[in-house]
Homo-oligomer: A and B are copies of this chain.
Amino acid sequence: MHSDEQKRLAIIQSIFKAQFSEKTPMRLVSSTDDADDCAVYDLPGNLSLVVGMDFVRGTKFTLFQEGYLDYFDVGYYLVVANLSDIAAMGATPTGLTTVIRYPATLEDADFIQIVEGIKEAASVYKTPIVGGDIGGYDEMVLAATAFGIAEQGKYFRRRGTVEGDILCVTGTLGLPATALVYFTDAKKEGFALSQEEEKLLINSWQRPVARIAEGSILAKLGVVHACQDVSDGAKATIEQLGQASTIAFKIYENSLPIHSITAKVAAFLQVDPVALACSASVDFHLMFTISPNELEATQTALRDEGYELHAIGQAITNAETSCLVRMDGSESTVPGTAWKQQSGNVAQIILGK
């Protein structure tokens, strides 16, 4: 039997369920049982430690294989993907450890580029690389652990949404997915975006952004009920946030922040732009819930610092699953496809081919 990732995650959760309690000064308060983006320990002195760990496919990214990303980019990406988990907790990153394993064929120059990319991203987020593991292996392996701190009780979790809460997101949804289908499909079929538009698409993979700043502003406001980073597309994130609080969301098409490039590419490929925007996409934006009466102040606080907030829906209890309200008033399930890491070509999956 070869269960999919969701089922194997459930297997892991059932095996690791209810491990021994902690007797040390580090008290475990969120673990695998909770499926938060990070584990959380309360430390002495009103501090909490958050810890997350992510592997990235790196040199196996389709856009690396197609020549749009280089070794520096995948090193940079490794750091951001891991820091995004810290951002999703509303925490401040304090360090990273990395695993870099490489096939015997990897040139020193390429190895150095990976490490330089890691260093550059670490430097942008002022988070030191404090250790790790290097060595040879059959395939490239890039993984990292990020840790950070938050005030006790001030970090975000996936659960905590209540009926009527507004679902918000810190920016545009679906650009990385758009990049994928554009470069592997639309462009090859003759559709051409401008150089600037292409650059913007590539940039979503080359220089992704961990929303540490937004998370920090939100943590200070103390308004967030639940939060998660969008690392598997908006559809998956909406569903997971719902499941964590046994609640559903009503999403409004006209409030979804979909970039005009996504709309253009979707139009050429004759797919639903909402499906493209909500499919497997490593947007790394924060998706979170707040009370309706906190919306204006939260929006102002983020905008005053140059960041975005888009209210895209509302938590409801009279539905089993989240739904999308189209501009014409019709309702459907949220369209899009979650990432399936084992199932071949992601672009083809997004396009339903």
Q: Which residues of chain A have a CB within 8 Å of any CB of chain B?
A: 1-3, 5, 8-9, 11-12, 15-16, 19-20, 22, 24-26, 28, 30-32, 36, 38-39, 41, 43-45, 47, 49, 51-55, 57, 60, 92, 94-95, 97-101, 104-109, 111-112, 115-116, 119, 122-123, 126, 128-139, 141, 143, 145, 147, 149, 341-342
Is the Cβ of A24 less than 8 Å from the Cβ of B131?
A: no
Is the Cβ of A128 less than 8 Å from the Cβ of B22?
A: yes
Give the residues in chain B near A12, CB-CB below 8 Å.
Answer: 100, 115, 134
Give the residues in chain B near A143, CB-CB below 8 Å.
Answer: 55, 99, 133, 141, 143
Is the Cβ of A137 less than 8 Å from the Cβ of B99?
A: no
Give the residues in chain B near A38, CB-CB below 8 Å.
Answer: 131
Cα-based distance from A123 to B166 in the complex (angstroms): 41
Is the Cβ of A145 less than 8 Å from the Cβ of B47?
A: no
Is the Cβ of A139 less than 8 Å from the Cβ of B136?
A: no
Overall SS of chain A's interface: mixed
Give the residues in chain B near A149, CB-CB below 8 Å.
Answer: 24-26
Query: In the complex, which residue of chain B has the Cβ closest to the Cβ of A49?
Result: B49
Query: In the complex, which residue of chain B has the Cβ closest to the Cβ of A30?
Result: B130
Interchain residue pairs with CB less than 8 A apart (13)? A2-B104, A5-B135, A11-B111, A11-B115, A20-B126, A39-B95, A39-B97, A55-B101, A55-B133, A55-B135, A137-B341, A138-B139, A141-B143
Is the Cβ of B136 less than 8 Å from the Cβ of A342?
A: yes
**Central interface residue in A51, A107, A138, A145, by most chain B CB within 10 Å:** A145
Cα-based distance from A49 to B45 in the complex (angstroms): 14
Give the residues in chain B near A47, CB-CB below 8 Å.
Answer: 25, 43-44
